[in-house]
Amino acid sequence: MDHADLKFQHKGNEVAMKCEIIRTSPANAQFPADGFQSGVRFVAAVAESGDRLREMLAELVTRELEVRRTTPSKTPLPTHTVDGDKTVRGSDAGFLCYRFENGHWSKRAVFLPEQPSTGFTVARSSDVDDIQRLCRVYEASDDEGRRLIQLFAELSVSDVLEIPPAVQG
């Protein structure tokens, strides 16, 4: 695999990631002169870049969720929420999996941070109010909005797991 460094600025701070190039193909197969596009896999964050990338993604996803929540054509958010941490078992599990099935939420502590097909998994340390808000927005969202919520949830998981790992410049 080829390797590359990806660097960009966000809010005046440099974000630098060590990457593996996993694919490269013409940007437009019909018009090869348009250049190429590559897919990369983040291997490691340089210095504080992992935190900066998570902050940037959290900001972007939060903004998109807020737009979806406040769009007049969307269904109003429901008033009922998940009942906090009262039913959690497995105190050693580092993650909480919230599943939305048949109009109801279930919650359980899990050891693997996999995202369920309906719902989301977050770090156990996540704020209860934030989780309840995610549940309400998830219920009122379409498939794309739900995908964004899962991405947001993955940010809390990646922070706990320190993904991507930090490396020194």
- Look at residue 92 and tell me if it is in a domain: yes
Work out how many domains the chain is built from and give that number: 1
- Look at residue 145 and tell me if it is in a domain: yes
DSSP E strands in the chain: the ranges are: 2-10, 13-26, 36-46, 95-101, 104-110, 119-123, 166-167
pLDDT, one tens digit per residue, over 25-57 is 887 767 767 788 888 887 778 888 877 887 888
Residue 114 burial (C-beta neighbours within 10 Å; 0-12, 13-18, 19+): exposed
Q: Angle at Cα 50 formed by Cα 46 and Cα 52, nearest 5°?
A: 110
Measured between alpha carbons, how far is 98 from 115 in angstroms, rounded to an integer?
Answer: 9
3-state secondary structure of 84: coil
* Closest among 124, 128, 130 to 152, alpha carbons compared: 130
pLDDT range class, residue 23, cuts 50, 70, 90: confident
Measured between alpha carbons, how far is 2 from 21 in angstroms, rounded to an integer?
Answer: 5
- Return the amino acid letter for 17: M
- Look at residue 1 and tell me if it is in a domain: no
pLDDT at 109: 84
pLDDT, one tens digit per residue, over 69-126 is 677 665 554 444 334 444 434 556 788 899 999 999 999 888 777 888 899 999 888 8
pLDDT at 148: 87
pLDDT range class, residue 167, cuts 50, 70, 90: low
Range of the domain at 137: 47-163
3-state secondary structure of 40: strand
- Look at residue 130 and tell me if it is in a domain: yes
pLDDT, one tens digit per residue, over 121-148 is 998 888 899 889 889 999 999 998 898 8
DSSP secondary structure letter of residue 27: S
